[in-house]
Amino acid sequence: MTAFTATVTVRLKRGVLDPEAETTQRQLERLGFELDDLRSADRFEIDLDAESADGAAERAEEMAERLLANPTIHDYDVEVEQAG
Amino acid sequence: MTAFTATVTVRLKRGVLDPEAETTQRQLERLGFELDDLRSADRFEIDLDAESADGAAERAEEMAERLLANPTIHDYDVEVEQAG
C-alpha cells in the first residue's frame, strides 16, 4: 500500500446560482478590484492508502459520488498525487 | 490586456480546528471508507484582465490579503493560467 493524497474539487454546475460567489465578487469590486467573474468551489484533500494511484482516484470518486458532491447541482474532479 | 483565470486556494493554517472537515471525515468512515486525514479548503476562480500573468497573480494575491483569506487563521496560494 502506498500513501496518496486525492484532491476532490466540487463546483456548482453551470447555471446554478451561487449567491455567495456573487457577494464576494461585489465586495471585491467595492474594494476597487476589476474582475470579470468569480466562481467558488469546495476542495477536499484526502490522505489515503491504496495499491495504486488509479485505485486511490477510484476511491476518491466514490467518496464524491456518495457524500462530497450532490450530482443534481455539482460537478467534481479528482486529482491524485503520491504523498511526499 | 489578456484574459487570465487566477485560482486562489484558501486553507486553514495547520493547528486551526476544522470541525466541518472532521465531520466529513467521520461521515465517510461511517460509509465504510478508510482514510487517514481529510482537509477542506475554499477555492476561488477569478477571471480578470491583466498585462501579464505576474500582474494577474499580484492582483489575485491582493484580493486574498484584503478579502478572501483571514491571515490569522488562513494560508493561501495563487495559480494563474491564461484563459482559453
Query: Three-class SS string for B14-72?
Result: CCCCCHHHHHHHHHHHHCCCCCCEEEEEEEEEEEEEECCHHHHHHHHHHHHHHHHCCCC
Range of A58's domain?
2-82
Q: How far apart are CA A81 and CA B6, in angstroms?
A: 22
- Give the tens place of pLDDT for each residue, B28-66: 999 999 999 999 999 999 999 999 999 999 999 999 999
CATH number of the CATH domain containing B11: 3.30.1280.10
- Give the total number of structural domains in chain B: 1
Q: How many helices (H) and strands (E) does chain A have?
A: 2, 3
Closest by Cβ to B35, choosing from A27, A33, A46: A46
Residue of A nearest to B58 (CA): A33
Percent of chain A clearing pLDDT 90 (strictly above): 95
Q: What are the residue ranges in chain A where pLDDT is below 70?
A: none
Q: What is the pLDDT of residue B37?
A: 96
Which chain B residues are Cβ-neighbours of A74 within 8 angstroms? none
Four-residue CA torsion sign, B10, B12, B14, B18: negative
Residues across chain A: 84
State the complex-level ipTM: 0.90
Task: Determine the average pLDDT of the residues in B19-26.
Answer: 96
Q: What is the pLDDT of residue B83?
A: 86
**Sheet bearing A2-12, strands edge to edge:** A74-82, A2-12, A37-50, B37-50, B2-12, B74-82
